[in-house]
Amino acid sequence: MTGDETAARRKAVRDGLGVAVATSAYGVSFGALSVASGFDVWQTCVLSLLMFTGGSQFAFIGVIGSGGLAAAPAAIASAALLGVRNVAYGMRMAPLLGGGALTRAAAAPFTIDESTAVALGQGTARAQRWGFWVTGIGIYIGWNLTTLAGALLGDVLGDPRAYGLDAAAAAAFLALLWPRLRTRQAIAVGIAAAAVATVLTPVLMPGMPVLVAAVVAIVVGWVNWLGRDQAPAEPDDVPEREGLP
């Protein structure tokens, strides 16, 4: 392994651990809010162990907390809609992770917003794999530990939002996204998707604004109105990616 490859791997590990710590802190909020919504500690922990996608988990306990067991079908639908995006992440990450069916099956639980973002932010295929696995596994372990802590200490902590933990995951994701907003087209995609999600959130059920915003982002990115006058990168400007043509 060359010096550049070692540096790229270290950067991927550093990025992954940083995002894992920031995102895991948000698990305290989930644990506390879940118990406050009527779930037992063990039920809260099972949700994190098996569902493991923050948006879906918060949507599930939010609907149940406001409507009781009668709202279970709506809670399941909301959680499922928010989880659909992980399918797209899986399709994007499959060729980068390589391996066979067992590797892809093992990667499925860890294919989330943060692991995908960290992986795609690396410059080589090897670093992308390191970033994916370190982020995904790190968040899984940290999220479940902080979920348990939040569920046990919820009454002592009070409202976890008072500590700003509700913004930890969003801040970490924004930190990953920000360096990629280097062109007018990328900025336009981000603004369009954010605007649509913001407008639709009060009027649509949880999960739908995210999906609609994703469609808008794809359309704006595909049309590429603002990027037509930008010259394509020269071969020397394109980072090498191992295992890719």
Segment 105-124, tens digit of pLDDT: 899 999 988 899 899 888 89
Stated pTM of the model: 0.67
Residue 148 has pLDDT above 90, yes or no: yes
pLDDT greater at residue 90 or residue 234: 90
The pLDDT, as a whole number, for residue 94 is: 87
The pLDDT, as a whole number, for residue 231 is: 45
- pLDDT band at 68; cut points 50, 70, 90: low
- Percent of the chain residues past pLDDT 90, beyond the cut: 21
Residue 186 has pLDDT above 50, yes or no: yes
Q: Which residue type occupies 241?
A: R
How large is the average pLDDT for residues 153-162?
65
pLDDT greater at residue 35 or residue 176: 35
- Cβ neighbors of 30 (< 8 A, separation 6 or more) are 44, 48, 54, 57, 58, 61, 143, 147, 150
HSE on the CB side for 92, CA within 13 Å? 16
The pLDDT, as a whole number, for residue 239 is: 46
**C-alpha–C-alpha distance, residues 206 and 81, integer Å:** 7
Return mean pLDDT, the chain. 77
The pLDDT, as a whole number, for residue 216 is: 76
203 phi/psi in degrees, rounded to 5: -115, -15
How large is the average pLDDT for residues 211-227?
70
